[in-house]
Chains A and B, each alone.
Chain A
Amino acid sequence: DQQVKQNSPSLSVQEGRISILNCDYTNSMFDYFLWYKKYPAEGPTFLISISSIKDKNEDGRFTVFLNKSAKHLSLHIVPSQPGDSAVYFCAAKSGGSNYKLTFGKGTLLTVNP
């Protein structure tokens, strides 16, 4: 049973436009969500996160939106740049001392110049 789902394996956008990456989850105990970016032959790097007590978090060009009732979150990148081309993983965890991250399968974003 996949608890974190990224239903789009890939996404292609033009440089300067908005990229929207989506993520759905099924476990209602999840209360913290993270996005990671991964380049080939490198480890994932943390990008942005959001707590379930918020519905939006911004960091520069990156904004994450959380819709708890729909169990859905999205990552917006504006404007998109060619250097943003990477695999993006959505991850979730439940609160307290639970350190375990559950990852989605990832979405390959390609930003075309």
Chain B
Amino acid sequence: NAGVTQTPKFQVLKTGQSMTLQCAQDMNHEYMSWYRQDPGMGLRLIHYSVGAGITDQGEVPNGYNVSRSTTEDFPLRLLSAAPSQTSVYFCASSYDSQNYGYTFGSGTRLTVV
């Protein structure tokens, strides 16, 4: 059981480049989300999905797009990277709203120069 898998683990982008952060889970969880962690800011919700074909914005959605075509995958797209998007990105999943714990991936460390 792999849990939540994020790729890549590290990435350096130039300002204006685009890329997709991958997230996959093998637990058949309906709920998936993306968070970013910045020093002194805790974890902030970017986008989330409550099932295939359904996505919604979180606290800091600007500059990011998501889609959920399958239950397993929830990619996060940066359309035009900016230095302000330098952060550690975590994907998480859960099987229902009363779940007693959300499973997080190990993170993607992104640097935009």
Contact = CB atoms under 8 A, between A and B. Distances in A.
Contact of A89 (B43, B45, B97, B106): B43
Specify the main secondary structure of chain A where it touches its partner. loop
Interface size on B, as a range, is: 20 to 34
B45 A101 contact: yes
Specify the main secondary structure of chain B where it touches its partner. strand
A32 B97 CA distance: 10
Contact of B50 (A32, A97, A102, A104): A97
A99 B105 contact: no
Interface residues of A, number: 27
Given A101-B45, A103-B44, A43 B97 contact: no
Contacts of A44: 43, 90, 104
A4 B59 CA distance: 14
Interface of B: 4, 31, 33, 35, 40-45, 48, 50, 58-59, 90, 92, 94, 97-98, 100-107
Interface of A: 4, 6, 9, 32, 34, 36, 41-46, 49, 89, 91, 95-106
22 contacts: A34-B101, A41-B106, A41-B107, A43-B90, A43-B92, A44-B43, A45-B104, A46-B101, A49-B101, A91-B43, A99-B31, A99-B94, A100-B48, A101-B33, A101-B45, A102-B45, A102-B59, A103-B35, A103-B42, A103-B43, A105-B42, A106-B42
